[in-house]
Amino acid sequence: MTSKPAVYEFNAAIVREPARSVVNGLRADDRGNPTYDGVKAEHAAYITAMQAAGVEVTVLPALDNFPDSIFVEDPALAFPEGAILLRPGAETRVGETAEIAPTLKAMFSTVLDLPSSGFADGGDVLTTPRSVMIGLSARTDRAGAEGLVASLDRLGRKGEIVQTPEGVLHFKTDCSLLDEETMLTTERLGRSGVFDGFRQVTIPAGEEPAANALRVNGVVMVGSDYPRTIEMLDRLGYNVVPLKTTEIGKIDAGLSCMSLRWHRPAS
């Protein structure tokens, strides 16, 4: 009997090439404009790291009309059981769902639409062994979260609605799953109690953006600008792969949002 893969075990992913318009991507804090060449280089290194971790990566073409479309995790979710099309909370991103839908419908036998009311971003969704956590935020409202819980139920998964800290763009801005029992979290999210029952590893003060790390199979991808976090995770025994996120960080992004990941069942 084949054991069920862990929630961080992936063999398939979808990414999208950055458009030249990516320099106009949304941002909550003005840290200067990214350069197209810089974003493209970081994205290329990300794809290489995914492939090195054992993931087959499908690369979609750039969408100039959607500056933030490189962040494919926000308009959709992917699971072994099927995909869910979301409704992004930023008005300029709503059209991204229709752009990625044909790809998902070609890859998955089950593709669900989010119910008609509310909005939800994939950046607010964290899959854990216990549940799929959905953080309420400026980009995911209660109606969207409740609709997503219903869609997850149709896939046989349990959704759990939690609160994203005030002023934080996405739930996963402040956390990531390190293994089946351990969360990497900022102090502000950790003290909220949402991860009670998990072992918690707290980001060193001043390196809070490093919380958006990404566990893929046997490695943990971490922004290379955060040496204390990398040292801490290395000391804890994780196989850390540092990746440059300086340019994408200028448009409020991190490692998880640049791909849709799932474990494709053997045919």
* 138-146 average pLDDT score: 96
The verdict on residue 5 lying in a domain is: no
What pLDDT sits at residue 25? Answer: 86
The verdict on residue 7 lying in a domain is: no
CA-CA distances (angstroms) from residue 72 to 14, 58, 62, 153, 197? 8, 12, 11, 23, 30
State the pLDDT confidence band at 1, using cuts at 50, 70 and 90. very low
Flag whether 139 is marked binding.
Answer: yes
The verdict on residue 67 lying in a domain is: yes
**For the segment 177-235, what is each residue's pLDDT rounded down to a tens digit?**
999 999 999 999 999 999 999 999 999 999 999 999 999 999 999 999 999 999 999 99
Flag whether 130 is marked binding.
Answer: no
CA 229 to chain centre: 19
Residue 122 has pLDDT above 50, yes or no: yes
CA-CA distances (angstroms) from residue 221 to 45, 169, 215, 242, 256? 11, 20, 6, 6, 9
The verdict on residue 50 lying in a domain is: yes
The verdict on residue 18 lying in a domain is: yes
Give me the phi and psi of 251, to 5 degrees please: -115, 40
What pLDDT sits at residue 117? Answer: 85
Tally of structural domains, the chain: 1
pTM of the full structure: 0.95
CA distance 192 to 100: 34
The verdict on residue 267 lying in a domain is: no
195 CB neighbour count, 10 Å cutoff: 21
Residue 77 has pLDDT above 50, yes or no: yes
Provide, rounded to the nearest whole percent, the portion of the chain with pLDDT above 70. 99
Residue 262 parent element (H or E): strand 260-262
CB 90 within 8 A of CB 53: no
Provide, rounded to the nearest whole percent, the portion of the chain with pLDDT above 90. 88
The verdict on residue 144 lying in a domain is: yes
| H helical segments located in 193-255 | 227-235
Beta bridge partners of 201: 184
The verdict on residue 2 lying in a domain is: no
Return the CATH number at 104: 3.75.10.10
Residue 34 has pLDDT above 90, yes or no: yes
What pLDDT sits at residue 111? Answer: 98
Work out the burial of residue 156: count CB atoms within 10 Å of its CB; fewer than 13 is exposed, 13-18 middle, 19 or more buried. exposed
Strand 219-223: give its sheet, edge to edge.
214-216, 219-223, 240-243
* 7-20 average pLDDT score: 97
Residue 121 has pLDDT above 80, yes or no: yes
What pLDDT sits at residue 29? Answer: 72
Full residue range of the structural domain in which residue 24 is found: 12-262
What pLDDT sits at residue 28? Answer: 74
Q: For strands 12-16 and 260-262, give the pairing.
A: antiparallel
| Cβ-based neighbours of 196, under 8 Å, separated by 6 or more | none
Flag whether 56 is marked binding.
Answer: no
Flag whether 230 is marked binding.
Answer: no
Flag whether 26 is marked binding.
Answer: yes
What pLDDT sits at residue 2? Answer: 55
* 153-165 average pLDDT score: 95
Q: For strands 82-85 and 76-79, give the pairing.
A: antiparallel
> Quick check: helix, strand or coil at residue 16?
strand
Q: Which residues belong to the active site?
A: 170, 257
